[in-house]
Amino acid sequence: MNYEKLAEILFPHITKTPDDYEKLYPKRELPEGAKVTRLGPSPTGFIHLGNLYGAFVDERLAHQSGGRFFLRIEDTDDKRYVEGAVEVIINSLRFFGINFDEGATMEGDIGGYGDYTQSHRGEIYQCFAKKLVAEGHAYPCFLTEEEIADIHSKQEAEKANPGIYGKWALSRNLTMEEIEANLAAGKSYVIRLKSDGDMSLPEDRIRRFQVEDAIRGTLDMPVNDQDTVLLKATGIPTYHFAHVVDDHLMRTTHVVRGAEWIPSLPIHVELFDKLGWEPPVYCHTAQLMKLDEEGNKRKLSKRKDPELSLDYYRQEGYHPQAVKEYLLTILNSNFEEWRIANPDAPAEDFHFTTEKMSSGGALFDLNKLNDISKDVLVKIPAKDLCAFLIGWAREFRPEILPLLEGHEEYIEKILDLGRDGKKPRKDFICAKQIFEFISYFFDDHFVIEDSIPAEVSDEDAAEILRKHLETYDH
């Protein structure tokens, strides 16, 4: 088979070469040891605690080392795309103090390694798919959905692993004439990796590889044997291909991502290898877990746990500093100790390391967040707390804004009640709860919690209150 000819037939419109892109995106000039990290959220409209958790790791790794941290929008799954989601991502992360050095912004891209939106990078992916085809490492696969379903049932019957690989990869060995005939007939096709792993070998002969994960240590896994889809029929890449091409060309040094990607690591390692590139350092973060009512650990779920969504913290009015402080305690096992020794230092002074991250599952506990929040809020001056409360009310409780705005001096006094002295009150958690706490200062929100018992007459009640006032010492 003349692979070069095949590549030309499949990608006649791709005129740039891989070398052109290597020159366009040269190695970054950064100090020795500087890390380049990225956050690659998908614009699904839902931004969650896991994104923020990962973003803190990225941000710390880059900024502690004098490196770069960028935002890439991973919108290759158009079925999940939600209008306005990019804005939500950028705003939520900014609210929590995550600032990018480059990447996608609402005003367009910043930085020399863009475009930072995957859907705008079609030609780049196709150029590298063309290279793989030209070298015999990828091929067009014309299998229809029905044919794939049929393969799947045969595999079930034979108790073989599911997927397109080895003898099941029916388009692998098509001749040039067959391919040309399929193309002429307008048959739709995807580009698949021609994997050279072979899982049908006896277990002790299956090749394995090792990768040093910065959080988990050595990962030892069997090599990939799946002819994974690289480009879909629309020419849009899959996550696997986009990850490899982008993180190479954007010169990412550390890929921080959720543990759910570990099973596809063999695909990524094979792709880096076939493309002749050095893979980045992988940092697979732990899944966020919680204890359920029965005391069992389980994954935080979008459906069951509102606290998984970052919106939850904004709506409740958690102060970003409290959320950050809390995430650091679950991110690094030695943070709490450091905090006790350095009660007033800014969190940025803490030296964060991937080695101190748990790999087994990070336990998220709302009560603990609340406790930390109390400690954080007690240190925030009433003036700033008042401004924060007003900002929260403007966004989430506009009906109470008139009670706060324009009355700052009064609110600050209320917020400062009992906050000085040796044992300041530490019961403020979040804006919503603070407003409930102080609502008795506002006539429209005054709620009688203990009404006068039925057996007390009005006159007696008045007398009791009079006597109370006589002895009351503010």
For the annotated catalytic residues, the residue numbers are 302
Q: Which is nearer to ligand GLU, 166 or 258 (CB)?
A: 258
408 vs 15: CA distance, rounded Å: 63
* Closest-CA residue to 191 (of 434, 420, 390, 14): 14
100/189 with CB nearer ligand GLU:
100
**Residues 49, 300: contact at Cβ < 8 Å?**
yes
Least distance (Å) between residue 128 CB and ligand GLU: 17
Burial of 232 (0-12, 13-18, 19+ CB in 10 A): middle
Which is closer to ligand GLU, CB of 47 or CB of 322?
A: 47
Cβ(102)–Cβ(111) below 8 Å: yes
d(CA 131, CA 157): 37
Q: How far is the CB of 212 from ligand GLU (least distance, A)?
A: 18
Sign of CA dihedral 102, 105, 109, 115: positive
Q: Give the total residue count for the chain.
A: 474
Asked if residues 424 and 379 have their Cβ atoms less than 8 Å apart, the reply is no
* Structure tokens, 323: 């959320």
φ/ψ of 111, rounded to 5, equals 120, 160
Q: How many helices (H) and strands (E) does the chain have?
A: 18, 13
- Min CB(243)–ligand GLU separation in Å: 5
**What minimum distance in Å lies between the beta carbon of 156 and ligand GLU?**
29
174 phi, psi to nearest 5 deg = -65, 145
Q: Kindly tell me which of 54 and 197 has the beta carbon lying closer to ligand GLU.
A: 54
Q: Choose between 41 and 103: whose C-beta lies nearer to ligand GLU.
A: 41
Residue 247 or 305 with smaller CB distance to ligand GLU: 247
Say if CB 330 and CB 69 are below 8 A apart.
Answer: no
Q: In whole angstroms, how close is the CB of 74 to ligand GLU at the nearest point?
A: 4
Residue numbers of the site for ligand GLU (CB under 6 A)?
40-42, 74, 243, 257
Q: What is the largest CA-CA distance in the chain?
A: 104
